Amino acid sequence: MNMKTLIAAALAAFALPAMALEVTLPAETAAYRPSDLPGYRLVQQNCMTCHSAQYVETQPQTSPRAYWDATVKKMKKPFGAPLRDEDMPAIVDYLVKTYGAERGSATPVAATPAAAAPAAAAPAANGAARTADALLGANQCSACHAVDKKVVGPAFHDVAAKYAGNADATGKLMQSIRSGGSGKWGQVPMPAFPQLDDEDLKTLATWVLSR
């Protein structure tokens, strides 16, 4: 093969279009270990929006409380996790007692919807129904959703559009909020909210569908 042929072959090789590689990630299956500690719900709501539960499983089991405290603080700064300062101690307590050096100091609960559910928030004074704004704040919905733009989860406006015209939209959305899941809006799972009663679920679902 002469020099001209070699050059022509090389140019032809570089001219070939790059083949796009499509990668389909498997659905998330890892889950945080159920516990009756308050931090269990907070971890479900905050941590799985950015990484798998497998992340904590790979941390050293001898890690002390200071290690988990530093890790949680790192997730907020510099990584930007939307963690509230007042929630961070409970998250650390759950992590160190479930995965770290203080394992066994808290009794985990059975992995059933009723047992895994944390204690429900205190009812409003005089039994009055809580407003959508109160429920959104108490359950940190804004950590993953906004009204008119995608954050981690879909915009409320997009959810309302998806259910538009569905005769049982409220009931289906109530069930979706209660059970959580993944695959409807991408691979990032939505945590379950089994602690919410039907009245609270209806309030949230009605509000979302009105956006």
Mean pLDDT, the chain, rounded, equals 77
For residues 68, 53, 190, 150, the Cα torsion angle rounded to the nearest 10 degrees is: 70
Residue 127 pLDDT grade (very low, low, confident, very high; cuts 50, 70, 90) = very low
Going 110 to 104 to 49 to 199, the CA torsion angle's sign is: positive
- Residue boundaries of the structural domains of the chain: 30-118, 128-211
Residue 113 has pLDDT above 50, yes or no: no
CA atoms of 70 and 92, how far apart (whole Å): 9
Q: Is the pLDDT of residue 195 over 70?
A: yes
Q: Is the dihedral of CA 160, 172, 125, 84 positive or negative?
A: negative
Which class would CATH give 30-118?
mainly alpha
**Among 65-79, 90-104, 109-123, 158-172, whose mean pLDDT is lowest?**
109-123
We find that the CATH architecture of domain 128-211 is Orthogonal Bundle (1.10)
Pairwise pLDDT comparison (98 vs 55), residue with the higher score: 98
Give 156's pLDDT tier (boundaries 50, 70, 90). very high
Amino acid at the residue 141: C
For 14-52, how does the pLDDT look when each residue is reduced to its tens digit (9 = 90+)? 555 555 555 554 555 568 888 889 999 888 888 876 777
Q: Tell me, what's the pLDDT at 210?
A: 92
Whole-structure pTM value = 0.48
